[in-house]
Structure 1
Amino acid sequence: MNAVVATQTGLASLDGDKLSSLERLADGLGPAELYWIAAWSAARADQLQRGILPAQPVKAVGERLTILYGSQTGQAKRIATQLSARAEAAGLAVRLMRADGYAQRDLAKETHLVVVISTQGDAEPPDDARGLVEFILGKRAPKLPGLRYAVLGLGDSSYPQFCAIGRQLDDRFAELGGTRLAPLGEADVDIDAVATPWTERALEQARQALGATQPAARVATLQPVPSRATHHRERPFAAPVLDNQTIVARDAGRDIRHIELSLEGSGLRYEPGDAVGVWPENPPALVDQWLSLLKLDGEHAVHHEGRELPLRRWLTHERELTRLSRPLIAAVADVSGDQELASLLRPDQSSRLAALFADLQPIDLWRRHPTAWSADELVAALRPQTPRLYSIASSQKAVGDEVHLTVAVIDYQAHGEPHWGAASSFLGASSDERGVPVFIEENERFRLPRDDSRDVIMIGPGTGVAPFRAFVQERRETAARGRHWLFFGNRYFSSEFLYQIEWQAALRDGSLDRLDLAFSRDGDAKVYVQQRIREQGRDLYTWLQEGAHLYVCGDANHMAKDVHAALIDVAVAHGGQSQEQAKEWLSDLLQQGRYARDVY
């Protein structure tokens, strides 16, 4: 914040250190969070003037509530921020921190702690919480007999290790001597159904434990400055389709689309690294499969949770039809009486459950375990539809009021029947006749370096290349001084080299300095990006030692793990490090924000 802005906003009386602190506080926050800070500040000033609050420093550790969050897609941050605002309004002294900004030595001094944390893929912590989770679960964690804590885990029951990180932390805090403020919360993809009542209970327990008597700040009566960005997750913008074209050859055997949407009039803004949230509609052919299989009438009115809609509307717009979940398996096992199916939910059957998740969609489960289901029972058993996130493939500086996506359309045959993806099929069939419901999901940990002289290494096979198209566009528009190196891989050079013409043009104009390619099916031996990483290891390690930022985007379960292993090998081979030292080196890069991953 410069001096002119400070003077115009009434902050000229703040000294340089305070202005710097204010800038750091605001860094990375979205409009809603900034407006909340403004409202909270105004309410606190009002209370100080009326003598309700003493003008004194923040309370000591033992008198405050610390809220930590670990978030990969922003949902844990959203819940933690909401809880912090409510706790402040209830009169509690609160410290809200992202896990990677928390000093591990402070844990031994905490007395009241809430952790909101997601689980990624196969029981992995979010990248911003890896260091803290390893510390808490490791040998160096302190005894915590004076700690009262609560853990809210976020996850997706489509994965066998649902909310595993939340469970591990909850158990570990108890093992270290802590006492629960509230039982472990486990929120599925319909997060708020669990998170809202859980945070209410945890907040009430925290208020009682901390003896809060101060009246709530009158934040609700304050009106924030209006923003053009009035669209969000619960109020998406209907974005017109400007372009929808296939970017692989006709004989590729798969359908990958480049889709351009208009954001004109939405007020939506984004940065390279952010994602677009898309509220999908299930494919009409899939809905017809369900109605035919269960012999149900699509026009039958179903009343559920205070709403009444035709069954076809529930199945098209409101219910998840393409992803299995643990509760769904339990429901089918219960109705069918199949004990073998029910046994898959036991902890010792996680590998078999994972295989089932990878192989079947929900309708396959019904085909294998045929029983009579009413329309009402079906709607109650299926999970609510949730938005899908797609890494943005454009820079707003380059394309203006547009947003571009790179989408692999899921459409395949399995078990003798056609199968589809929900959002990818919806987007693949999208046209200019109607808008696509979208919102912007910020990803503050997947950002280009502030220092534009820093070099950038990008690893993005397949559709994982999407955000790096945005990165290169952005750095071209800002005339960034740093170098740019892209690793890209796919199956075939001739048919699946995504954005080939753009990358070649970028090499010519200097906005891309190096391009390493791996096409796994073009030769007798399969070649993947991790092999190219090892081959170019000496230069890659030199770039990183000189301060380069490293980014990885794509599949979490295989590619990201293989790339991580290749980076460890590079540090061992060219940095003279041991395996343990190389792992610590990469962990340190993650902690610094110089190694960022957008994996799914």
Structure 2
Amino acid sequence: MELTSQNSPLTDEQARQLNELLKGLEDHQVDWLSGYLAGWRAAQTGQPAAGAAAAPAPGASAEAPSLTILYGSQTGNAEGVAEMLGEQASARGINVKIVDMADYKPRQLKSETFVAVLASTHGEGDPPDNALDFHEFLHGRKAPGLKGVNYGVLALGDTTYEHFCQTGKDFDTRFEELGATRLTERVDCDVDYDDPAEAWIESILGAIEEKAGATAQTAGAAPGAGVATAKARYDRRNPFPAPVLENLVLNGRGSNKETRHLEFSLEESGLHYQPGDAVGVYPQNNPKLVAAIIEKLGLDPDESVSLGETETTLSEALQHYREITVLTLPLMEQWAAYSGDDELQKMVDNHSTLTEWMRGRDLLDLIETWPVEALGADTLTGMLRKLPPRLYSIASSQAQVEDEVHVTVAAVRYETHGREREGVASTWLSDRIEDDATVPVYIDPNKNFKLPDDDDAPIIMVGPGTGVAPFRAFMQEREERGAKGRNWLFFGEQQFRADFLYQAEWLNWRRQGLLDHITVAFSRDQEQKVYVQHRIREQSTEIWSWLQDGAYLYVCGDADAMAPDVNEALIDVIAEEGGKSREEATEYLRELAREKRYQRDVY
């Protein structure tokens, strides 16, 4: 909003001059100017300016250090830790600015003094969508020298992947190459990141205080610093026991799949969510697999084990607290040391070979392939990582369902390496929870997958299979808002008669006129398989027209095949209809992502 004499105490000429000045300033210059003006005001009156932090008079040096926190996050974990770091830094008198990497101007990096980089790794070593441009710039020829910049990196990843925490490693190495000084050693976090993240936060804040010569007592904290932000009582570390209200199979007779619609009660939890967020579910391992592992090792299921502050039995530990269906690199390294097997050690030394062997195998496979004698119960549980929560895209709008949250879950069952396998959470929810059970849940916000603020903006939603879940939430939300923007759904599954998830609801929204288009692709209903990417190409002219009208693009679902195929189809549409080269079309799509008009929730 531009200043005028009508909306400010300035004259027209003063407002014009200030507007011209502000247009040419970058973020860090605005921050400096606001501090300067507050200090100038304090020098004139002897009192801090109203609503402003105490600031130095002109020419004086600031006592409080300033920390810029940059986060690159696909699902919101890195953003959550960034906010935690920001809160603790502010409480210690450090001036904080938290910035999404997608919104940060990389050229101002050289002007920073203290920088914290928090980055997750997406897929096989790729940066998350909102970190792509920053990562590319920093590794390009235009990256500035960073001498005088002090930094620290927290990397988030998953040890089941070969390129564990690769994005964080890239940033750590590149900052050093560009001349920056490392404040504290990089920490690489697995899916259970809470404790190492907290330790890293303490380490980097201590290093900043030491480097800046500032303490909480002398740093001149901003107003309100140190006051805890009000948060929900229940969160990732303290999930809410949500009663199960509904557990229904969505597929019809003859389907090859089992997809369930579950509804949980959030009554009295204080939990709130927005369409696009996910719900975290803490599952339980199959007791049959637990029993097989314990029997194969010759251990007592009732033997007491210590899991930090928790004392429980071995059987309970493996069922409720430890990961046993997925193998990790640290586990394989420890197992090789215990087994003394030369073949396994050679495999561990070659991560590519090891990762390939691990794929589709579990702890029982490892025990059967490379037996270890006299392995104690505490040693076993100490080698295993915590059983992590599973995230599911929320399939409801709280504006419509109030104290409920809905999810869409596909039961995962398959055979590999001579054994029947199953998804931990999906089959627990499908097969083993009772009608009156409670499920430990929390809300996992996702600010990178949100409806446009403009209710008149058109949206195009691509959600095959369970990827349709958040779009059910989108439609419920737009219905409640009375949004006038056009809506177009692309949905794909195997069979029209058996797998059209939420068919009655989509058709009802279509009859109401809320859903303008629904384009479907049922791959098994004809000899040649047809997927959503094929339908996108068929609808290229109208898709391009919607994009020209300011449409937002959303893609949800499988990250390995569907999302790249849809991305390619969109590039083809833009190139063909927009008369662009492939490079220009790719950049056009990247620009949509920068504008938050191309958002993906892929897994």
The 1-side partners of 2:595 and 2:134 are apart by 14
Q: Give the conservation status (yes or no) of the 8 Å contact 1:332–1:366.
A: no
- Alignment root-mean-square deviation, CA: 2.9
CA offsets, 1:510-564, max 9 Å, x none?
A: 1211111112222222221111111111211221121001101111122111111
The 2-side partners of 1:206 and 1:271 are apart by 35
Structure 2 counterpart of 1:562: 565
Structure 1 counterpart of 2:266: 263
Q: Give the conservation status (yes or no) of the 8 Å contact 2:510–2:517.
A: yes
The 2-side partners of 1:214 and 1:158 are apart by 40
Letter in 1 for 2:99: M
State the 1:52 CA deviation: 10
SS of the residue aligned with 2:359? Answer: helix
Larger radius of gyration: 2
SS of the residue aligned with 1:251? Answer: coil
SS of the residue aligned with 1:240? Answer: strand
Of residues 96, 100, 103, the one that matches 1:101 is 103
Q: Give the conservation status (yes or no) of the 8 Å contact 1:237–1:439.
A: yes
Structure 1 counterpart of 2:461: 458
SS of the residue aligned with 1:472? Answer: helix
The 1-side partners of 2:57 and 2:242 are apart by 49
Letter in 2 for 1:210: A
What is the percent sequence identity of the aligned residues? Answer: 46
State the 1:303 CA deviation: 2.3
SS of the residue aligned with 1:252? Answer: coil
Structure 2 counterpart of 1:34: none
Structure 2 counterpart of 1:302: 305
Pairing 1:519–2:522 present: yes
Letter in 2 for 1:557: D
The 2-side partners of 1:500 and 1:517 are apart by 11
Label 1:54 to 1:104 Cα distance change in 2 as closer, same or farther (>3 A). Answer: closer
Letter in 1 for 2:141: K
Instruction: Report matched runs for 1:95-494 at 5 Å.
Output: 95-213=97-215, 215=217, 222=227, 229-346=232-349, 349-350=351-352, 352-372=353-373, 373-428=375-430, 429-494=432-497
State the 1:393 CA deviation: 0.5
Q: Give the conservation status (yes or no) of the 8 Å contact 1:122–1:557.
A: no
State the 1:143 CA deviation: 2.0
Q: Give the conservation status (yes or no) of the 8 Å contact 2:92–2:225.
A: no
State the 1:242 CA deviation: 1.1
Instruction: Report matched runs for 1:49-68 at 5 Å.
Output: 53-54=54-55, 64-68=66-70
Q: Which moved more, 1:536-545 or 1:271-280?
A: 536-545
Label 1:357 to 1:477 Cα distance change in 2 as closer, same or farther (>3 A). Answer: farther
State the 1:333 CA deviation: 1.9
State the 1:255 CA deviation: 1.6
The 2-side partners of 1:214 and 1:161 are apart by 39
Letter in 2 for 1:587: R
**TM-score normalised to structure 2 length:** 0.86
Label 1:61 to 1:130 Cα distance change in 2 as closer, same or farther (>3 A). Answer: farther
SS of the residue aligned with 1:465? Answer: helix
How many residue pairs align between the two structures?
Answer: 557
Label 1:464 to 1:342 Cα distance change in 2 as closer, same or farther (>3 A). Answer: farther
SS of the residue aligned with 1:333? Answer: helix
SS of the residue aligned with 1:152? Answer: strand
Q: Give the conservation status (yes or no) of the 8 Å contact 1:487–1:516.
A: yes
Pairing 1:575–2:578 present: yes
Q: Which runs of 5+ in 2 are unaligned?
A: 1-7, 10-14, 19-46
Pairing 1:535–2:538 present: yes
Letter in 1 for 2:415: Q
SS of the residue aligned with 1:359? Answer: coil
Label 1:59 to 1:396 Cα distance change in 2 as closer, same or farther (>3 A). Answer: farther
Instruction: Report matched runs for 1:498-509 at 5 Å.
Output: 498-509=501-512
State the 1:219 CA deviation: 6.6
Q: Give the conservation status (yes or no) of the 8 Å contact 2:90–2:225.
A: no
State the 1:264 CA deviation: 1.6
State the 1:459 CA deviation: 0.5
CA offsets, 1:240-299, max 9 Å, x none?
A: 111111111343233211111111222211111111111111122221222222222211
State the 1:343 CA deviation: 3.8
SS of the residue aligned with 1:467? Answer: helix
State the 1:106 CA deviation: 0.5
CA offsets, 1:152-184, max 9 Å, x none?
A: 100011111110000111111122222211122
The 1-side partners of 2:528 and 2:360 are apart by 27
The 2-side partners of 1:286 and 1:389 are apart by 22
SS of the residue aligned with 1:76? Answer: helix
**TM-score normalised to structure 1 length:** 0.87
Letter in 2 for 1:564: N
CA offsets, 1:123-153, max 9 Å, x none?
A: 1212221211111122221122222221110
State the 1:87 CA deviation: 2.1
The 2-side partners of 1:575 and 1:60 are apart by 52
Q: Give the conservation status (yes or no) of the 8 Å contact 2:90–2:226.
A: no
State the 1:397 CA deviation: 1.8
State the 1:65 CA deviation: 2.1
Q: Give the conservation status (yes or no) of the 8 Å contact 2:293–2:363.
A: no
Of residues 577, 585, 589, the one that matches 2:588 is 585
State the 1:449 CA deviation: 0.7
SS of the residue aligned with 1:527? Answer: coil
